[in-house]
Structure 1
Amino acid sequence: MEQAGPRSAHGSAGAGVPDIRTGAVRVPAQPRAADVDRERGVTGRAAGAAAASRPAASAGSGGPVGTGTGTAAGAAARGEHTHSETPIPRPRAEGARPVVQRASVRGQILDALRTALVEGELAPGEVYSAPALGERFGVSATPVREAMQQLALEGAVEVVPNRGFRVVERGTRELAELAEIRSLIEVPVMLRLARTVAATRWAELRPLAEATVRAASSGCRATYAETDRAFHRAVLALAGNAQLVRIADDLHRRAQWPLVGGPASRGRADLVADAAEHTALLDALIAEDLTVVQSLVREHFTGA
């Protein structure tokens, strides 16, 4: 059973929240008033000699600490960098430099869950627990739970207390609403880019369009979903607006989730036809045929 509850920064349940304990803080002994008066009477070189003659207090010893804040001992007591520290030697050869590699299990699980969503393996309306999915992927429940929380933020699943995560049920109305929003955002941008971007820049996107054709021909919906979004991101990136690309890509991803009533929302023939519109759109953009571009762009989102 999935246990929902407060989570730590590492995604563990409330019982697994790290217990951060702070040690006792030692307060340095304060100088007496008479000592302060004597210190104030020392000036010039006498002050420097007096400061040098006083032994430095060790960290945490509880002994008197000098009043000069610019000394190395004072800086060390505050945890600041001092120039007396021994520098860390750099490796002589480039190959000797240690390479730190961090494999993101959470990221891999998130990608796998997104693929399962697009493929319909995670059925709308069904509840899945993190431990059960962890066994399926051969990992612990923690990275699965973290990935599911991200999908919940994206609207793909919803949390079911003490059970797990339910895949959101979506109908044709929601899909039509997403297509309308995407068209309101992307169509004006694409038409503006069609009038301002040089043909050579459009030609550079040819490999991405061809990748969507290959993915559609393979019939793999998850692969096509990735290549389809990559093509649209590359087109919108020409506008130079990173926030536009991020929002449009999020809407595009949501539109690729399966509908209620079947594991697949689009068949292979639909994918092939959609990919063909990418290449036709590029041909029109390179030819600077704005009439055809406008027609293809509007039909592309209408079909979506």
Structure 2
Amino acid sequence: MTGGASGAVRPAAPRLPVLGGRRSSYRERVAEALRAALIAGELRPGQVHSAPALAARFGVSATPVREALLDLAKEGLVDAVPNKGFRVTDVSERQLDEYTHVRALIEIPTVAALATGADPVELEALRPAAREIVAAAAAGDLIAYVEADTRFHLGLLALAGNAHLVEVVRDLRGRARLYGLTALSASGRLPASAEEHLELLDALIARDERAVREVMTRHLGHVRGMWASAES
């Protein structure tokens, strides 16, 4: 499915998720699965993929896949390549630094405020997602890691009651990618980063705002390290 690489090893097909517990179109589900594959680095910068080849992997028609790829092109995640398909866009070191900076400006104070403002029951409801992150890290399942990580972080931010903020962070996560996850997993460091989600949740439930800020700052630093490790 990679343009010009007939003998290339294919990554595992991304799963088709159910979005937010509601019924969704193939287009939405395929777009979400492709985002997860892009963020995890299963689809690498510079690779060219055709809609028919991706459709074969998903077991759906090419039309919803092509429409999903067009959606991703609008987000800057892929570029259309005439008569070939879509090329996964690259991300510069400067862009990664900028994305991390913006995320820190948004997420650290927002999550810290939840230490005193969020309902402990709603916080505890995020624990299954945090445990899924840890389990996926232990299993080396990067797609499952990204899917659970996205649910956890966006679900946490949603408790602040600002839907626009959640969408801004969702967009930043997609644009930045986490394609260093592969290197982090191979080095055995991914489980430690995964455990930070449970540590963060415990600090929030304990109403320890200082600890929340510390964990969030450390965690975002590790995320930036994931990106950097992909280029090292």
1:241 is displaced (CA, Å) by 0.9
Distance 1:141 1:182 in 2: 35
Question: Which residue of 169, 192, 204 maps to 1:273?
Answer: 192
Q: For residues 39-64 of structure 1, what are the alpha-carbon distances to aligned partners after superposition, in whole Å with 9 as ceiling and x for unaligned?
A: xxxxxxxxxxxxxxxxxxxxxxxxxx
Q: Which has the larger radius of gyration?
A: 1
Which amino acid in the other structure matches residue 139 of structure 2? S
Long gaps (5+) in structure 1? 1-101
- 8 Å contact kept, 1:236–1:245: yes
Evaluate the alpha carbon distance shift between residue 203 and residue 127 of structure 1 in structure 2; reply closer, same or farther with a 3 A threshold. Answer: closer
Evaluate the alpha carbon distance shift between residue 132 and residue 237 of structure 1 in structure 2; reply closer, same or farther with a 3 A threshold. Answer: closer
Aligned residue pairs total 200
Q: Is 2:176 the partner of 1:255?
A: yes
Long gaps (5+) in structure 2? 1-22, 224-232
TM normalised by structure 1 equals 0.58
Question: Which secondary structure state, in structure 2, belongs to the residue aligned with residue 158 of structure 1?
Answer: strand
- 8 Å contact kept, 1:124–1:258: no
Question: Which secondary structure state, in structure 2, belongs to the residue aligned with residue 264 of structure 1?
Answer: helix
Q: Residue 161 of structure 2 aligns with which residue? A: 240
Question: Which residue of 167, 182, 187 maps to 1:264?
Answer: 182
Evaluate the alpha carbon distance shift between residue 277 and residue 124 of structure 1 in structure 2; reply closer, same or farther with a 3 A threshold. Answer: same
Distance 1:234 1:115 in 2: 16
Evaluate the alpha carbon distance shift between residue 287 and residue 254 of structure 1 in structure 2; reply closer, same or farther with a 3 A threshold. Answer: same
Q: Residue 288 of structure 1 aligns with which residue? A: 207
Evaluate the alpha carbon distance shift between residue 154 and residue 266 of structure 1 in structure 2; reply closer, same or farther with a 3 A threshold. Answer: farther
Q: Residue 225 of structure 1 aligns with which residue? A: 146
Q: Is 2:105 the partner of 1:184?
A: yes
Question: Which secondary structure state, in structure 2, belongs to the residue aligned with residue 232 of structure 1?
Answer: helix
Cα RMSD after superposing both structures: 2.5
Question: Which secondary structure state, in structure 2, belongs to the residue aligned with residue 165 of structure 1?
Answer: strand
Distance 1:249 1:136 in 2: 25
1:225 is displaced (CA, Å) by 0.5
Question: Which secondary structure state, in structure 2, belongs to the residue aligned with residue 125 of structure 1?
Answer: coil
Q: Residue 47 of structure 2 aligns with which residue? A: 126
Distance 1:246 1:119 in 2: 19
Distance 2:39 2:66 in 1: 19
Moved more, 106-115 or 225-234: 106-115
- 8 Å contact kept, 1:237–1:245: yes
Q: Is 2:25 the partner of 1:104?
A: yes
- 8 Å contact kept, 1:118–1:221: no
Q: Is 2:84 the partner of 1:166?
A: no
Evaluate the alpha carbon distance shift between residue 226 and residue 125 of structure 1 in structure 2; reply closer, same or farther with a 3 A threshold. Answer: same
Higher RCO by CA contacts (8 Å cutoff, separation 6 or greater): 2
Which amino acid in the other structure matches residue 185 of structure 2? G
Question: Which secondary structure state, in structure 2, belongs to the residue aligned with residue 210 of structure 1?
Answer: helix
Distance 1:282 1:133 in 2: 37
TM normalised by structure 2 equals 0.75
Alignment of 1:188-203 (within 5 A): 188-203=109-124
Question: Which secondary structure state, in structure 1, belongs to the residue aligned with residue 97 of structure 2?
Answer: helix
Distance 1:131 1:276 in 2: 38
Distance 1:200 1:134 in 2: 41
